Chains A and B, each alone.
Chain A
Amino acid sequence: MNDVGLLSAAWRTLRRRPDVIVAALIVLFFAVMAAFPRLFTATSPRACAIRDARLDPQGWGSAHPFGTDALGCDVLATMVAGVRPSLLLAFVVVGVSLLIGVTLGLLAGYYLGWADYLISRTIEVFLVVPLLLAALLLLSLFKNVELGAGTFDVILLPAVVLILFNWMSYARYVRASVLEAKNLDYVTAARSLGASDVRIMFRHVLPNAIGPVTALIPTSIAAVIGTEAVLSFLGIGVRPPATSWGIQISQGSEWVLGGAPHILIAPLVCLIAAVLSLVVLGDALRDALDPRLTA
């Protein structure tokens, strides 16, 4: 009964905020783009003609609405094709790291002792290993493995690398807030009524400790999309011929001062719009789910 009440109350609060509606529409727009790329462009991102390289944007309705990139590929088509791997990678990486980080942080903060020792040291080990070094290592390990070309196959390697080096910050944040929350009276009160450790952790401590982490999620989504471009440069990003916003941005940045800024601007605007919308949504969701802020 209480979950339904909370969600409907959350929906009522969200509806009253126009920025939330706009943000939701933008996220929906990209979701549709990822699901049905054909709606947005008929051009294939792989139909590149080098003689058409670096054409300026020609406006809607023409052959290359957003122009072409350094290799003569259509910018709009590349962008549309990049939505799916980029967003999928971002959500998979953030989702899985969140799961790992929250679980480990909760266990470490709640039980302390040897569990905390083990988890905290592991966090430190992962923090001191440089991302690129580890990425190169994994690259050499998986160099000869054929992963296929399915939607998930193309993002598998960058997802593994990014998850391995992403979960620590969540774990640390959760551990710190759990340390704070677990000594509060309501936790003692739940214990005095005979609640089990698992129940206390997930029903009483976690909902009160998750706040700082939810604020972290939208920005890490942006960071994941950006880092993926770096991994692509090393050859372990999204597998070609699939493409992503990150790859497009890193290629476009080479031509900003070379007379073709549109190659960068188009995917960058999309990335900023998507991330900003997620920030607004995340913020609104946090406010709506916290009963203290719901009047």
Chain B
Amino acid sequence: MSAVASPPSDAGAGGPLLEVTDLAVEFRAPDGVVRAVDGLSYRVEAGRTLAIVGESGSGKSVSSLAVLGLLPDTARVTRGSVRLAGTDLLTLSRKAHRAQCGDQVAMVFQDALAALNPVHTVGYQLTEALRARQGLSRGDARRRAVELLDMVKVPNAQARVKEYPHQFSGGMRQRVMIASALAMDPDVLIADEPTTALDVTVQAQVLRLLAEIQAERRMGLVLITHDLGVVAGVADDVTVMYAGRAVEQAPVVPTYTTPAHPYTRALLRSIPSASGTGRLPVIPGRPPSPAAMPSGCPFHPRCDAVRDVCRTEVPPLAAPAEGRMSACHFAADIMAGVEPPPDDAAKPSDGGERRDSRSLGSDNATIPTFDGPDNRGGDHG
């Protein structure tokens, strides 16, 4: 049950590099079991970038930790598989799983200062894995460290390999982090909010760098972020997560032009825009606690297009159109830019049908923070 429909222009011949299928991760909590990820599926092909977007606590980081086998002791994978070039990582022993990490799949962490060991030089950390696992000599390791720093465009690499992480600026540190993840030449790189700790101009540089390296090496890149603005420039496909599930999966452009889930639509509206005036729309409320999931669709308490059926039935992840996946009862309506039919109307029997009984204007009016007629700058629909 692959979720994202494979893009038509895919060049990879041997199937996806990384394929996550129906992954579920549970945490043991004092008051019972908490399901952080519930039935997540995605696939990444060589040379393509998948962005996983979601709020804090939506399970996007936990799912990538599961891929790398880095889940804390209180968590366990209850369902699903993670296939890396055909091998199911979750069935491997801890040791065998770790041997795959770094070599085939590597990770870039959010806070590079915390993710670099303060007591070792940058050069040591870049090549530690190479020296430990491929038995590189000191001299070779040093040359390789300089190469890696050059690759991520750290100026004066020759001198800087001898420095410590605290002597680097935030952006340079993130570059070092990326270089250390690339040291073993992985096929898949998972970047967990790689630009969150950076300021905006540096963010753009680091993202461009990631995109360049990815294109050059034909890596699969999984970019985890909560910032849809980041996604637009770099990603090929988008998976939007909410409360541990994928709510929308699609190529990046259609996601932006015709979102198929009210959550995606609301996220897009809340991106600040330079031409926007008036108040920026926000999504009211907070994401549900995984310990106290609402009934029906997990997004229904915050949804601006909620109907009775949403409160009782969990919408399955279905395809409202070719190449699109959405977990909304009214995906076709949302895609078409119309409001779902009111509760007294007949239930939507099939998603392909277009309902134009409602005007586009009512779409905007349902956003609670809407603040006057002149805020269309915030509207991407």
Contacts and interface: CB of A to CB of B under 8 A. Distances in A.
A and B bind:
yes
A61 to B, nearest CB: 52
Given A185-B111, A185-B114, A203-B128, A194 B133 contact: yes
B109 A2 contact: no
B166 interface: yes
B143 to A, nearest CB: 11
Contacts of A190: 117, 128
B263 to A, nearest CB: 29
B101 A204 contact: no
Given A185-B109, A189-B180, A2 B99 contact: no
A208 interface: yes
A207 B110 CA distance: 23
Given A193-B129, A291-B164, A291-B166, A184 B101 contact: no
B109 A292 contact: no
Q: Which of A184, A192, A204, A207 has the most CB of B within 10 A?
A: A192
Given A5-B121, A291-B119, A191 B98 contact: yes
Interface in B35-84: 68, 70, 72-73
B162 A5 contact: yes
Interface in B119-164: 119-121, 123-124, 128-129, 132-133, 138, 142, 162, 164
Contact of A204 (B72, B103, B117): B117
Contact of A195 (B100, B118, B123, B129): B129
Interface residues of A, number: 25
B102 A186 contact: no
- Of B99, B120, B166, B177, chain A has the most CB atoms within 10 Å of the CB of B120
Contacts of A1: 123, 138, 142, 162
B319 interface: no
Contacts of A185: 109-111, 114-115
B132 A195 contact: yes
A188 interface: yes
Given A186-B115, A203-B128, A2 B123 contact: yes
A252 to B, nearest CB: 44
B310 interface: no
Contacts of A184: 114
Contacts of A192: 68, 70, 101-102, 106-107, 181
A290 B119 CA distance: 7
A58 B72 CA distance: 70
Given A185-B115, A186-B115, A193-B102, A2 B120 contact: yes
B120 to A, nearest CB: 7
A38 interface: no
A188 B128 contact: no
A193 B126 CA distance: 10
A188 B119 CA distance: 16
Given A186-B116, A208-B118, A292-B118, A194 B103 contact: yes
A68 B313 CA distance: 96
Given A5-B162, A194-B99, A292-B166, A189 B115 contact: yes
Interface in B175-192: 177, 180-181, 183-184
A191 B128 contact: no
A193 B115 CA distance: 12
B116 to A, nearest CB: 6
A12 interface: no
A192 to B, nearest CB: 4
Contacts of B118: 186, 208, 291-292
A2 B117 CA distance: 14
Contacts of B138: 1
Interface in A174-196: 183-186, 188-196
A193 B128 contact: yes
**Which 10 A/B pairs are nearest by Cβ-Cβ distance?**
A194-B102, A193-B102, A185-B114, A185-B115, A291-B164, A186-B117, A192-B107, A189-B115, A193-B129, A207-B119
Interface of B: 68, 70, 72-73, 98-103, 106-107, 109-111, 114-121, 123-124, 128-129, 132-133, 138, 142, 162, 164, 166, 177, 180-181, 183-184
Given A192-B68, A193-B184, 20 more contacts: A2-B121, A2-B123, A184-B114, A185-B110, A185-B111, A186-B115, A188-B109, A191-B68, A192-B70, A193-B180, A194-B103, A194-B184, A195-B128, A195-B132, A203-B117, A207-B117, A208-B119, A291-B118, A291-B119, A291-B121
15 contacts: A1-B138, A2-B123, A112-B73, A184-B114, A185-B109, A185-B114, A188-B109, A188-B115, A189-B109, A192-B102, A193-B129, A194-B98, A194-B100, A204-B117, A292-B118
